[in-house]
Amino acid sequence: MTLIRTPVTIVLALAFAQVPLAAYTLQDAYKGHDFFDYWTWEIFADPTHGRVNYIDKSTAISGNLSTATFHKFFMRADSTSVVSPNARGRDSVRIHSNTAYGDSVIVLDVQHMPAGCGTWPAFWTNSQKGPWPHGGEIDVIEGVHLNTNNLASLHATPACIMPPARFQTGDVVSSDCNTQANSNQGCGTSFTKRNSYGAGFNNIGGGWYVLERSRHKGIKVWFWPRNDDSVPLEVKHDSRMVVPDSWSECEPDAYFPTGKQCDYDSHFDDHEIIFDLTFCGDWAGAVWGTSGCGSGTCQDFVDNNPENFKEAYWEINSLRVYTEPDFRHTHTIQHRSSLQTIIDVFNVLLLDASNLPLMVLKALYLLVAIASLTITVLSAAIQPSHELLGKRDDDLPARVPYIFPAPGTDPIADAIRARRANGTLLALDGVLWVSVSICFEGVHYAVYTSRLNAPLIASTWNSLFGVIRGNTTIPGNMRELAILRIATLNNASYEWFQHESVGRSEGLTTEQLRVIRLTPVLKDTTETNSILGPLLSAMMTFTDWSTTTARVPDHVFAELRKFLNDQQLVEATATVAGYNFVSRFLLALDVDGKNNVSVPIPT
C-alpha cells in the first residue's frame, strides 16, 4: 500500500484533524531507591501461567532479588536454587507503579534486561481498573528465550484493529488487538533492530525505550541503542520537557494509530507501569520446542538449572514519565510536589495578567515552568523541512543564525513588528526564531517556533516588554535612563545602540547621556547629580545597585520612593530586571556581533 503525503495534505490534516504538537512535561522520575518508595511488589499467581513465584518486597530485598544504588535499580530472578516440583516456580519479581498515567511519554533508560532460555520478561503498562483486558494493555518490551528482536503489542477488547500499512520501521506481526482473537496474540510489531532485545541488547550496554500514548496520535514506541548518535538529547539526558514530534527519528519502531478502527477512549484508560520476569508460561512454554534451548521441557529447564539465570535481571538507570500540562494524579512523588504547587498557584494568577505586576508574574512563571507549555502549530508555516521558511541572514554575525519570518506567516512576529517603530524586526528578534523539523506521519516538516522552546515565550517576551516600553506610568526618560545605564554597566553595546535614539526622543540630553555613560558605578551615595536632577539620579543609583549586586539597600530604595508610588516602584523594578535579562541574552548570543564593541560615548 502506497501512502501519498504532500505539504498540502499535511496542512489539511493538521487543520481538520487538529493534531497538536504536544510538549510533555516531567511529572515523575524514578531512579534507584525511588522504586522501593513508589512501586508495589506483586505476589499473586502469574496470570500467564508461568513457572514463577513472585515474592514480596521484603523477601526480594533480603534475598538480593531487588536492590538499589543511588543511580540504579536492580530486580532479578533467583539463580542459586533448584526449584522443587511442588513449588509455584522460580523466585522472581513483578512490580507496578503506584501511579497510573494517561496521555504521556515514558522514557526508560535500561542498561540490562533479562535474557536467556526459559525467560519471558516484559516492560508494559496496564489498566488499573480492569477486569483485563478492559482499559487495555501496552507491551513496550517483550520477548522470550533467545530472541534478539523486541516485540511491542497492544491487547484490547474487541473492535480495535490496526491498519496493515502504517508509518513505523518495525514489521507488522498481527493487526487485531482483540484478546479473543488469535489466542491473545494482540496486535504486535517486531522491531527490525536486532539488538533491541536480549543478549544483543545487553552486550551494547542497553539503551532507551520510549512510549508515547496520545488520544490525538495513537501509541508509539521508539528504541535507541546506547551507542546510537541519533538518540534525542531530551531522551538521553534528564530533560524537563520532551517533544516527540521534533525528534530526528521520525518514524517510531512501532506505531499503533487510534481512531475509527480503534477508538482510544473506549479501549485505553489510565495505566500503571509494570516490570516483570516470568518463565515458560503461555508464550515461552508454547515455543520452547523451537527456541533452540535444547531438549526436555521448559519447566524442567527452569527448575533444575539455576546457574542459567544469572543474566535474568533488570538493571534500570532511570524511568521518567512526562505528561501533558493538565495531568493530575493522586500519588505525586514528594520531592516534586513543591514545583507542582508553584505551577498550580501561577495557573490561578495567569487568569488575569492585564497589569504589569501580574505580567511580571506571568513572565516568571514561563521562565520557571517553561516545561508546562504546549507547542502549537502556526497555521501558515508548514513546508517540507529541506525548505527554510523566511529569511536566514548570515551576513549579520551572532552565535546562532537569524530567522525573520515573512510578514503574514507568523502572528507573533507580526505582533513584534507592530511594536517596532518602523515595523522591521531587529537582530534581537531574529534570534528568537528557528525553523525546526517536526514529524507527521513519517515525514519531517518545518515549522517556526521560538528558539526559547515555545512560541508562548516569544509571545510573552513581546507582551512583557511591550508593557514595559509603552504601558507603564513611569516617565519615559526615567525608563530609558535605566536601560542605557544597564547597557553601560554590562557593556551591552547593541542595547545602547538600540536605545540611545529612543532616550533622546524621551527627552534625555547629550549631557545626560554622557553622565549615564561615563559616571562610575554609584554605590556609596544618593547625592543628586546636577545634570540629571533628583528623580533621574535616584533611578540611576537604584539601577546600579540592582544591576551589580541585585540587592538594593533600604536607603537607596527609600530615595526612589520619594518620587514614585507603589505601582511605579514595581514598574521601575520590572524595567531594570527585564532589561538586565535582555542585555545578558544579547551578550550570550553576541547579537549583531557587538560583544567586542565598546558602548559609545555620546556626542
CA distance 411 to 417: 10
CA distance 447 to 389: 8
Phi and psi torsions of 316, nearest 5° = -110, 120
**What three-state secondary structure class fits 573?**
helix
**What three-state secondary structure class fits 224?**
strand
The DSSP secondary-structure symbol of 297 reads -
Burial of 160 (0-12, 13-18, 19+ CB in 10 A): buried
Report residue 143 as a C-alpha cell: 520477548
CB 498 within 8 A of CB 425: no
* Segment (H or E) for 139: strand 137-142
CA distance 254 to 139: 11
**β-pair partners for 129:** none
Residue (of 441, 24, 56) closest to 235 by Cα position: 24
Cα 15 to Cα 90, 224, 556, distances in angstroms: 54, 32, 55
Phi and psi torsions of 498, nearest 5° = -75, -25
CB 81 within 8 A of CB 306: yes
- Sign of the C-alpha dihedral computed for residues 505, 509, 510 and 512 taken in this order: negative
- How big is the CA angle at 342 (ends 336 and 345), to the nearest 5 degrees? 140
Which residue is listed with cell 522470550?
144
Helices (DSSP H) in 2-128: which residue ranges?
7-17, 34-38, 57-62
Residues making up the chain, counted from first to last: 603
CA distance 455 to 432: 9
CA distance 596 to 587: 10
Residues 6+ apart with CB under 8 A from 533: none
Residues taking part in catalysis: 137, 142
Residue (of 430, 386, 422) closest to 406 by Cα position: 430
